[in-house]
Amino acid sequence: MATRIGVEVSIAVADAVKLCNPDVIAAYPITPQTHIVEHLAELVANGELDAEYIPVESEHSAMSACLGSAATGARTFTATASQGLALMNEVVYVASAMRLPVIMAVANRSLSAPLSIWCDHSDMMSVRDTGWIQIITENGQQAVDNTIISFRVGEDPQVLLPVMVHLDGFNLTHVVEPIMIPDQAEVDKYLPKNRFPLPLNPDKPVAMGGFAAPAIFMETKWAQEVNIQNSKKVILQAWDEFNKIFGRKYEPIEKYQSDGAKTLILTVGSSGETASVAVDELKKEGMDVGQVRIRLWRPFPFEELREAVKGADVLIVMDRAISFGGPGGPIASEVKAALYNQAKKPNVVNYVISLGGRDTTVSDFKNIIKQGVGIAEKGSKNEYEIYGVRG
Amino acid sequence: MAKSENEMTWKDVEIGCIVTEPGGAKAYESGTWRSQRPTYNFNKCIKCGLCSLYCPEGCIDKNKDGYFEADLFYCKGCGVCARECWTKVITMVEEVE
């Protein structure tokens, strides 16, 4: 039987990794990811988890060790954040192109400078185009569930891709939440053994990480792109199967009070729950407003997004990162691109909020929604709006 | 390798570009990189083999007469052999169309 306990989300994520029985964990501690890997190290040291824990000297080495591990067919986990993700960036690209199913929790934190340990999504956006499947979670339960789901998706023979589970640093990693910790027998039922089809094996040698001349390089990249596009159906199946066993449902675009609403707010990550309260209060005040949330970031859920927002007149998109000198928030940029060729589409207003851990409260979200509707009606000279900057 | 790189489609690419058969480097014609080729005056050659030791491609071997000569399928035309040859057997000349 699953048990519902009050637990810090990082500890719960580590316990979820334990339930998946990984063979190798290679990680370097960095705030706010630290508690996840500390607890895994503790589980291994206590003999509660039979895995190799490799305490590497940097994140670049962490991901490199993970590649070697996954290449042998071992179930592999790591976690990082911010500067750590930036340092491992080069190897992050290699994991996906080599089709190695490494599972990584990213405790989202802003990138320097100035130095900040607090949450935004600049680290997430720095790896947007690395070819990993990326799931964005909104609360501790989602982080736990999608950690388990990630192993099943990434290691699926039809997929064979690394998967990132994003959870907001501090806002999720360091809070205590009531979380259903799944039962081991149920996880075992849900998660088959990892069977990488061409592992490193002295009895059947293969070469990995080779060179591709111009005559073949484009074919390799297209194969990679088709593969991640096709992974979506496996992700949907894995979410569906998870719902059948565990009773919690996930979708690429999740909707809250959005059916028929003329104004929608689109949120990413933990601040979505605060926005939901704002939506509730505005509805009580008589405003016709709903919410959509992005759960699946890569592969991008084009069809589901278009379907979810097609009836709306105004779509207010929240971003926790800036593409400097560019179109504003990366999420809004992609949402606009997804809608551009549609005959009927909402007017998209983009807000950049909550950089470097700045709180966006319920009343802030209410302001944003009201202001956003005004901007949609009157227009704005700005490519995007930034919320709460003084002066 | 069943198909050459020029014939393979994206569907033929192995998972993660994993190489499952040996011989990929042997099949690769690195000679297409060449802008200069070695030419030989074997009258001067003392068959010391120093050129073959220095060749970074490892493509110089004895020909049927026992002289050392580059395999132009692999030779990238770097000119190291010409630089190192004691008796100046080798002259690099421009490749022409």
A351 in the Ramachandran plot: left (φ > 0), alpha (ψ -120 to 50) or beta?
beta
DSSP-assigned beta bridge partners for residue B90: B40
A209-243: pLDDT as tens digits:
988 989 999 999 999 999 999 999 999 999 999 99
> How far is Cα A159 from Cα A194, in angstroms, rounded to an integer?
12
CB A295 within 8 A of CB A97: no
Contact with chain B for residue A359, Cβ under 8 A: no
pLDDT at residue A203, rounded to an integer: 95
Question: CA neighbours within 13 Å on the CB side: how many for A69?
Answer: 26
Q: Where are the alpha helices (DSSP H) in chain A?
A: 9-19, 34-45, 59-71, 82-87, 89-97, 122-126, 140-155, 184-190, 214-246, 271-284, 302-309, 330-339, 362-378
Residue B27 burial (CB count, 10 A): 11
A115-137: pLDDT as tens digits:
999 999 999 999 999 999 999 99
Q: Which of B10, B22, B24 sits opposite A223 (nearest CB)?
A: B10
pLDDT at residue B82, rounded to an integer: 98
Residue of B3, B7, B10 to mutate when probing chain A, most A C-beta within 10 A: B10
Contact with chain A for residue B16, Cβ under 8 A: yes
Contact with chain A for residue B6, Cβ under 8 A: yes
H/E element, A314: strand A314-319
What is each CA distance from A213 to A24, A192, A219, B30, B71, in whole angstroms? 33, 37, 11, 10, 21
pLDDT at residue B27, rounded to an integer: 86
The 3-state DSSP class for residue A205 equals coil
Taking contacts as CB-CB distances below 8 angstroms, the residues of chain B near A198 are: 14-16, 18, 20
pLDDT at residue B2, rounded to an integer: 62
How high is the mean pLDDT of chain A?
A: 97
Taking contacts as CB-CB distances below 8 angstroms, the residues of chain A near B18 are: 98, 198, 206-208
The closest of A110, A191, A185 to A149, measured between CA atoms, is: A191
ipTM computed for the complex: 0.89
Q: Which CATH number describes the domain made up of B30-94?
A: 3.30.70.20
**Is CATH 3.40.718.10 what the domain over A255-386 is classified as, yes or no?**
no
Sign of CA dihedral B70, B76, B77, B79: negative
CB A319 within 8 A of CB A351: yes
pLDDT at residue A15, rounded to an integer: 98
Query: What are φ and ψ of residue A233, in 5° steps?
Result: -65, -35
| Distance (Å) from the alpha carbon of A223 to chain B's nearest alpha carbon | 5
Fold of A3-246: Rossmann fold (3.40.50)
Tokens for A339, please give them.
């809608």
Task: Calculate mean pLDDT across residues A350-371.
Answer: 98
Contact with chain A for residue B95, Cβ under 8 A: no
Task: List the end-to-end C-alpha distance of chain B, in Å, as a whole number.
Answer: 30
Tokens for A262, please give them.
């003329």
pLDDT at residue B5, rounded to an integer: 79
How many residue pairs bridge chain A and chain B with CB atoms within 8 Å of each other? 51
Contact with chain B for residue A197, Cβ under 8 A: yes
pLDDT at residue B3, rounded to an integer: 79
pLDDT at residue B6, rounded to an integer: 86
Residue A16 burial (CB count, 10 A): 26
Whether residues A223 and B13 touch (CB distance < 8 A) is answered with yes
Domain boundaries, chain A: 3-246, 255-386
Residue B44 burial (CB count, 10 A): 12
Task: Calculate mean pLDDT across residues A283-287.
Answer: 97
Taking contacts as CB-CB distances below 8 angstroms, the residues of chain A near B5 are: 213, 215-216
The closest of A143, A168, A91, A128 to A298, measured between CA atoms, is: A128
Contact with chain A for residue B9, Cβ under 8 A: yes
Residue A1 pLDDT > 90: no
User: Mutual orientation of helices A140-155 and A9-19 as an angle, nearest 10°?
Assistant: 30
A41-62: pLDDT as tens digits:
999 999 999 999 999 999 999 9
pLDDT at residue A158, rounded to an integer: 97
Helix/strand/coil percent split, chain A, to 5: 40, 20, 40
Residue B97 pLDDT > 70: no
A324-355: pLDDT as tens digits:
999 999 999 999 999 999 999 999 999 999 99
> What is the per-residue DSSP string for A262-284?
SEEEEE-STHHHHHHHHHHHHHH
- Report percent pLDDT > 70 for chain A: 100
Residue A14 pLDDT > 90: yes
Contact with chain B for residue A230, Cβ under 8 A: no
Q: Which of the residue ranges A141-145, A262-266, B18-22 would you say has the lowest mean pLDDT?
A: B18-22
Contact with chain B for residue A159, Cβ under 8 A: no
Q: Which of the residue ranges A175-179, A210-214, B37-41 would you say has the lowest mean pLDDT?
A: A210-214
pLDDT band for A19, please (50, 70, 90 cuts). very high
Tokens for A8, please give them.
């810090």
Taking contacts as CB-CB distances below 8 angstroms, the residues of chain B near A210 are: 17, 19, 24
The 3-state DSSP class for residue B32 equals helix
Looking at this protein, which amino acid is placed at residue A302?
F
Residue of B4, B8, B11, B15 to mutate when probing chain A, most A C-beta within 10 A: B15
Q: Is A255-386 the same fold as A3-246?
A: yes
Task: Calculate mean pLDDT across residues B67-79.
Answer: 97
> How far is Cα A83 from Cα A100, in angstroms, rounded to an integer?
23
Q: Which of the residue ranges A100-104, A120-124, B1-5 would you say has the lowest mean pLDDT?
A: B1-5
pLDDT at residue A317, rounded to an integer: 98
Tokens for A82, please give them.
């911010």
Whether residues A206 and B18 touch (CB distance < 8 A) is answered with yes
Residue-wise over A116-144: b if at least 16 C-beta within 10 A, else e? bbbbbbbbbbbbbebbbbbbbbbbbbbbb
